[in-house]
Amino acid sequence: MSPPPARRRGHRCTGDREKGEYMLSGREHAASGCRTRREFLYQIGAATAGLVAAPRLLAEPGEAPAARPDAPVPGKATRVIIARDETLTKGSVDEHAELLRKLLDAALQRLTDAPDAATAWRSFFKAGDRVALKVNTLGLSTQPAVADAIVAGLCAAGVRPENIIIWDRFDRELAAAGFKLNQSTDGVQCRGTDAERIGSGYAEEVEKSGEIGSCFSRILTGPVDAIISVPVFKDHGLAGVSLGMKNFYGAIHNPNKYHGNNCDPFVADVVAHRYIAPKWRLTICDGTRAQVQGGPGRSPQHAWSFGGLIISNDFVAADAVGADLLEQERHARGLKSLAEDRRPPKHIATAGARGLGQSDLNRIERIEV
Amino acid sequence: MDGVMGRLPQPSRRDVLRCGLGACLAGGMVCRLPCAQGQDVAGTGALPGVALPGVVRHPARHWEKHADGEVKCLLCPRACVVGDVERGYCGVRENQGGKYQTLVYGALCSYNVDPIEKKPLFHYLPGTQALSIATAGCNIECKFCQNWQISQFRPEQVASTPVTPEQLAANCAARGWPTLAYTYSEPVVFYEYMYDAAAAARRRGVGSVMISNGYIEEEPIRELCKVLTGVKIDLKAFTERFYVEQCAGELKPVLRALEVLKDVGIWFELVILIIPTLNDSPEEIKAMARWVVERLGPDVPMHFTRFHPTYRVTNLPRTPVPTLERSRDIALGEGVRYVYAGNVPMHPGENTYCHQCRELLIRRVGFRVESSLIRDGKCPKCGTTIPGVWSQEQALSFAPRQRAAGTAQGTS
């Protein structure tokens, strides 16, 4: 058997003796992003419906379950913070950088019951963490000022700027959204997957997760300890909503293949992958500028001055609350519900049913700050 | 298991880097890499040349406007309704401000000069060469795709080189290659480029063959047949279940497209990749062959080819040769006159035998034609006319028949 077209070369993680490939050593294996036993167990656990109600690590046999720093406190409902300030709807978002930082810090404190903002941030991130902020620059985009506010919080927790990367699919879309690209080793990194190398910045191997088979962005397959999803609060013509989970369609090479059936169960399949779910610390949904219809492209007539952020350490709960708020606004405007418009955001319930987080609104505590 | 192509020397990295497509075509230098025997696998390594800075944009054909800035693609049966800044399932056609655009017009990501037998087309100018090209993208997703590194990627994810339709045609004419083949990925998704290249090729006396999954609407394929001279269709299986579960596609529209090809009268052949346990049952092969004879006629060649594990189907073994032989026997038994076994070099099922007297007419070893006795399209022993395209003059003389009554779009 001769090799397939060598458009995209690289080693394989599973050795195929017949093809003369090799098995990786443990260190090579880890560096390659192949799944560890713990990661494998996590994914199996995540795919088991109803086993867990919120993100958590599975323990090794014989160990007590390891509580993640962001794991919901037992006995308490999952929290989703809705942080709004009408001032944010006036002028440009960039003018309100200070207000955004304060709002975000207050939200994190409320989420964690921490005595101060730095402590709140440290409950999710530690010095030495390498943190990836997945923004969304397709159509209505994440505001750079929101990303800046997150970076300020991370730095307050001791994360080094050069260990932070703001990323999306394309350099050109990031630049068009107002982000300053930075591929140097100084300061906060900012680049698209396509900047990883000419032609493609996606991993060589196809990763299977549920129904999907995709190559993931090398930004995610590389050394990343923590992920923050920074989507835009917007409607989506097929998935119903494009929030924290749908945002990760921008992490795979073939999102176009997974828009059928309202993107379900594909969104859940993508985020359940070991590159994403185990590392996901926060969703910080940018609602400074929102859109209730016509998404993900810009549709000014359907703009919504939400003026705030939706924040949670439970990525399913954040999306569930976001979708509910969007439905309420659509109702207030006389628009059809997403279900009536034949695009219910089914992926949220699917993710909840798989134990990736809490999708039951009755079990989510909404807190407004 | 390397075939003839597999023994060709692999170019060094320097060769590849030096070998820009433009220079390659102009100077006659052809990059070849080993490829799977009997399958139309992309023949280039990392395509030399500078990656396009972004993507090319060219007006798409076969779409209509919808409300709220959406467009509906009418090219393939998937009929994607695409919102602004979004793309269709193929990943290479995008709605920009309510206008549908192709992103792969002239964006060549793979090319090679292949024997026509590699397509495989066994009854179309045997022993000749075809400049074979592809762009990124596909409108289905076969979990066993041999060329997924280009078919399942979007244009900005693969290095491409800009080549105009006119350049393709001119180089074929200058080099004496009689055929342009649109292949490797899925030509339907680069429809506009293919159409214009085929038209330009015809003007220069060069034929065009499309190697496709046949997942295309009736109007586009009828239009396309005005410029093509041959077609090969991958009939993936004969059950809807297989198409849905293994290909994210549908069988019925493919069968419809085959009937259209029959109706317009263009030369076409069928390839069926036999995958153990998924589409290899004798009942399915029998039903397929029976349908072919009844609806397309006994002269449409069928190629049963051997599966190799790849892409998302890595848990199944290679197809046992006896399974191919059984499939071939079943099809012959149902009345298909020309049935081949593919991906099994030296197998007698690679050869062409007169359907009337069983005389060996074309002896093949892999992609190479060892001998051909066909003269003027006839068997030299019994004088029977052998179906196919045996001269460039015959290829270029093809013009589609007018639409027959009862074959209007939407009928079945």
B48 in A contact zone (CB under 8 Å): no
Using left for φ > 0, alpha for ψ between -120 and 50, and beta otherwise, residue B376 falls in left
Subunit contact B143:A199, Cβ cutoff 8 A: no
For A25-68+75-368, the fitting CATH number among 3.40.50.11440, 3.10.20.30, 3.40.190.10, 3.40.50.20 is 3.40.50.11440
Using 50, 70 and 90 to split pLDDT, how confident is the model at A185? confident
- For A272-307, letters b (16+ CB in 10 Å) and e give bbbbbbbbbbbbbbbbbbbbbbbbbbbbeebbbebb
Give the Cα separation of A150 and B199 in Å (integer). Answer: 55
Mean pLDDT over A203-219 rounds to 93
pTM of the model: 0.81
Query: Is the minimum CB–CB distance between B37 and chain A shorter than 8 Å?
Result: yes
- Given B2, B91, B311, which is nearest A2 (Cβ)? B2
Q: Does the CB of B85 have a partner CB in chain A at under 8 Å?
A: yes
pLDDT of residue A197: 57
Q: Does residue B13 carry a pLDDT above 70?
A: no
B157 and A202 in contact by Cβ < 8 A? yes
CA-to-CA distance for A207 and B272, rounded, in angstroms? Answer: 27
Q: CB B84 to CB A298 under 8 A?
A: yes
User: pLDDT band at B402, cuts 50/70/90?
Assistant: confident
User: In angstroms, rounded to a whole number, what is the distance separating the alpha carbons of residues A114 and B376?
Assistant: 89
Report chain B's terminal Cα–Cα distance, integer Å: 42
Establish if B212 touches chain A: CB-CB under 8 angstroms. no
| Mean local confidence (pLDDT), A299-307 | 94
What digits encode the pLDDT tens for the residues B111-159? 999 999 999 999 999 999 999 999 999 999 999 999 999 999 999 888 8
Reply yes or no on whether the pLDDT at A75 is more than 80: no
CA atoms within 13 A on the CB side of B174: 11
Q: How far does A17 lie from chain B, in Å, by closest CA?
A: 13
**Do the strands A189-192 and A164-168 form a parallel or antiparallel pair, or are they unpaired?**
parallel
Q: pLDDT tens for residues B352-369?
A: 999 999 999 999 999 999
Nearest to A200 among B54, B157, B311 (CB): B157
**Are the Cβ atoms of B85 and A297 closer than 8 angstroms?**
yes
Mean pLDDT (whole number) for A33-51: 42
Q: pLDDT tens digits for B251-264?
A: 999 999 999 999 99
pLDDT of residue B407: 52
When pLDDT is averaged across residues A16-32 and rounded to a whole number, the result is 33
Of the candidate ranges A15-24, A255-264, B396-405, the one whose mean pLDDT is the lowest: A15-24
Rg over alpha carbons for chain B, rounded to the nearest Å, is 20
Q: Which of A2-16, A75-89, A348-362, B29-43 is the least confident region? A: A2-16
A200 in reach of chain B (CB within 8 A): yes
Q: What is the pLDDT of residue B39?
A: 63
Chain A / chain B CB contacts < 8 angstroms:
123
Taking residues B382-396, report their average pLDDT: 98
pLDDT of residue B273: 98
Annotated domain spans of chain A: 25-68+75-368
Q: Tell me if A5 and B43 make a contact (CB, 8 A cut-off).
A: yes
Residue B67: per-residue pLDDT:
86
- Residues of chain A with Cβ-Cβ distance to B17 below 8 Å are none
pLDDT tens-digit series, residues A342-356? 999 999 999 999 999
- DSSP character at residue A163: G
- Give B157-213 pLDDT, tens digit per residue: 888 889 999 999 999 999 999 999 999 999 999 999 999 999 999 999 999 999 999
Share the mean pLDDT of chain A: 83
- Per DSSP, the three-state class of B123 is coil
Q: How many CA atoms lie within 13 A of A161 on its CB side?
A: 12
Residue among B37, B158, B318 whose CB faces A200 most closely: B158
Record the tokens describing residue A149, joined without a space. 């506010």
Task: Give the model's pLDDT for residue A184.
Answer: 85
Is B108 within 8 Å of chain A by CB?
no
At B31, give phi and psi (nearest 5°).
-85, 125
Average pLDDT estimate for B49-60: 68
Positive or negative, the CA dihedral B157, A284, B88, B68 is: negative
Angle (deg, nearest 10), helices A315-332 and A346-353: 150
**Does A199 or B35 have the greater pLDDT score?**
A199
Determine the topology of domain B107-337 in CATH.
Answer: TIM Barrel (3.20.20)
Q: Which of B157, B307, B313 is the best substitution to test chain A (most A C-beta atoms within 10 A)?
A: B157
CB B25 within 8 A of CB B167: yes
> Which ranges in chain B are annotated with CATH 3.20.20.70?
107-337
Minimal Cβ distance to B44: which of A5, A296, A298: A5
Asked which of A322-336, B15-29, B374-388 is least confident by mean pLDDT, the reply is: B15-29
Residues 6+ apart with CB under 8 A from B8: B32, B33, B34
Please say if the pLDDT value at position B226 is more than 70: yes
Candidates A199, A206, A297; nearest CB to B311: A206
Nearest CA to B79 out of B68, B99, B67, B93 is that of B93
Confidence of residue A270 (pLDDT cuts 50, 70, 90): very high
Residue B372 CA: distances (Å) to CA of B177, B287, B358, B359? 19, 32, 14, 11
Task: Please tell me the distance from the alpha carbon of residue B8 to that of residue B30, in angstroms, as a whole number.
Answer: 12
B394 touches chain A (CB under 8 A): no
pLDDT at residue A5 tops 50:
no
Output the CA torsion A144→A149→A154→A159 (10° steps).
60
A213 touches chain B (CB under 8 A): yes
Degrees to nearest 5, angle at CA A275 with A269 and A281: 95
Q: Does B2 touch chain A (CB under 8 A)?
A: yes
Closest CA–CA distance from residue A42 to any residue of chain B (Å): 22
Q: A148: closest CA among A101, A110, A184, A112?
A: A101
Contacts of B141 in chain A (CB under 8 A): 254, 257
Residue B228's pLDDT is 98
**Shortest Cα distance, chain A CAs vs residue B290, angstroms:** 32
Confidence bin at A68 (pLDDT 50/70/90): very low
Rounded percentage of chain B residues whose pLDDT exceeds 70: 85
Taking an 8 Å cut-off on Cβ atoms, the answer to whether B42 and A254 are in contact is no
**Range 266-285 of B in CB contact (< 8 A) with A:** none
Identify which of A1, A253, A298 has the shortest CB distance to residue B157.
Answer: A253
Amino acid B120: pLDDT: 96
> ipTM beyond 0.85?
no
**Tokens (6 digits) for A36:** 């560890």
Identity at A217, one-letter amino acid code: S
Label residue B205 left, alpha or beta by phi (over 0 means left) and psi (-120 to 50 means alpha).
left
Please name which of B215, B164, B157 lies closest in space to residue B189, comparing C-alpha atoms. B215
